[in-house]
Copies of this chain bind each other. A is one copy, B any other.
Amino acid sequence: MARLPGLGPRSARRAVLWLVKRRESDLPRLLEALATVQERLVECETCGNVDTMNPCHICADPRRDERSLCVVEEVSDLWALDRSKLFPGRYHVLGGRLSALDGVGPEDLAIGSLLARIDKGGIDEIVLAMNATLEGQTTAHYIAERLEERPVRVTQLAHGLPVGGELDYMDEGTLAQALRARRPVG
Q: Which residues in A have some Cβ–Cβ distance to B below 8 Å?
A: 72-74, 76-77, 80-81, 83-84, 86-87, 127-129, 131-133, 136, 140, 144, 148, 153-168, 170-186
Contact = CB atoms under 8 A, between A and B. Distances in A.
B158 A163 contact: no
Copies per complex of this chain: 2
A170 B80 contact: yes
Residue with the greatest number of chain B CB neighbours at <10 A, chosen from A84, A144, A176? A84
Contacts of A163: 132, 159, 171, 173-174, 177
A156 B185 CA distance: 6
Interface of A is mostly: mixed
Given A158-B158, A183-B181, A167 B133 contact: no
Nearest to A148: B186
A182 B166 contact: no
18 contacts: A76-B167, A77-B167, A84-B179, A127-B179, A128-B185, A129-B167, A131-B165, A132-B161, A133-B165, A154-B185, A156-B185, A157-B161, A158-B183, A159-B163, A160-B161, A161-B162, A162-B165, A162-B171
Contacts of A184: 153-155
